[in-house]
């Protein structure tokens, strides 16, 4: 980790590694003029947004239910933000000039977010499913998905991804939003994380 603060570096061994691999599997579609959608600016999504900004040329549209997370996404460099809910699909389509997004990253994986991803991806685009919710990607003859859409469930990443994201952190291009808690509060912290009440990553310290 070098001179990185261990409290900040610790989440990068998980969220950072996973984010870097997720972006890497779609990097070939994220050149100049491309548009990607990041659904879920949580513990992994906020790091992925920074990785996208650091190693691709894509314009990033961030999507979340929480206005505070959307505000943080703007601070991290998202070109546009869209609040989940009624009208989100139409707003994203408008931001993509009606053509759809080249890549959609779903860091939530619930039925609503999967449906949104399928609805805003461009023909020939890619959906990268990172979140492990209860959502199901519908596959049906007759056009549930646009034509030639690729759906990928990436691995959590390996040593090369970890090394790459730590190097980005050393350069100041990627960081993890961290809230620290005493180790004795572990049960309460787990509950708060499950309820979505922690922005970024929770780190327990002795």
Strands 201-205 and 178-182: parallel
Residue 180 domain-assigned (yes or no) = no
Tens of pLDDT, residue by residue over 115-146, are 999 999 999 999 999 998 877 776 665 666 77
Residue 96: pLDDT band by 50, 70, 90 thresholds? very high
What's the pLDDT at 104?
A: 98
What's the pLDDT at 2?
A: 65
Residue 58 domain-assigned (yes or no) = yes
Strands 121-129 and 150-152: parallel
Residue 1 domain-assigned (yes or no) = no
What does each C-alpha distance from 138 to 103, 106, 117, 118, 163 come to in angstroms? Answer: 17, 15, 11, 8, 35
pTM of the entire predicted model: 0.92
Number of Cβ within 10 Å of residue 19's Cβ equals 31
Please report, for the domain that includes residue 32, its CATH number.
3.40.50.720
Task: Please give the average per-residue pLDDT across 187-191, as a whole number.
Answer: 95
| Contacts by residues 82-89 (CB-CB < 8 Å, ≥ 24 positions apart) | 84/39, 84/112, 84/113, 84/116, 88/63, 88/116, 89/116, 89/119, 89/120
Residue 111 domain-assigned (yes or no) = yes
Which tokens sit at 76?
């991290």
Residue 176 domain-assigned (yes or no) = no
What's the pLDDT at 141?
A: 55
What's the pLDDT at 42?
A: 92
Please count the structural domains in the chain. 1
**Which range of residues forms the domain containing residue 10?**
6-152
C-alpha to C-alpha distance for 116 and 6, rounded to whole angstroms: 36
Residue 60 domain-assigned (yes or no) = yes
Residue 197 domain-assigned (yes or no) = no
Q: Which residues pair with 59 in a beta bridge?
A: 35
What's the pLDDT at 200?
A: 84
Residue 10 domain-assigned (yes or no) = yes
């Amino acid at each position: 980790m070098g001179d990185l603060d261990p409290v900040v570096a610790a989440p990068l061994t998980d969220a950072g590694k996973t984010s870097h691999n997720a972006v890497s599997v779609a990097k070939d579609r994220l050149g100049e003029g491309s548009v990607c959608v990041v659904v879920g600016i949580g513990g992994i999504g906020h790091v992925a947004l920074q990785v996208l900004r650091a190693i691709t040329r894509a314009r990033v549209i961030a999507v979340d239910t929480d206005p505070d997370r959307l505000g943080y996404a703007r601070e991290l460099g998202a070109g546009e933000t869209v609040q989940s809910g009624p009208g989100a699909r139409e707003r994203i389509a408008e931001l993509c000039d009606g053509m759809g997004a080249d890549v959609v990253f779903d860091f939530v994986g619930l039925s609503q977010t999967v449906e949104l991803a399928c609805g805003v991806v461009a023909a020939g685009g890619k959906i990268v499913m990172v979140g492990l919710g209860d959502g199901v990607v519908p596959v049906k003859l007759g056009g549930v998905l646009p034509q030639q859409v690729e759906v990928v469930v990436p691995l959590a990443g390996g040593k090369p991804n970890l090394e790459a994201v730590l190097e980005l952190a050393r350069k100041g291009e990627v960081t993890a939003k961290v809230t620290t808690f005493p180790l004795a509060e572990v049960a309460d912290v787990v509950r708060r994380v499950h309820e979505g009440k922690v922005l970024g990553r929770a780190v327990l310290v002795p």
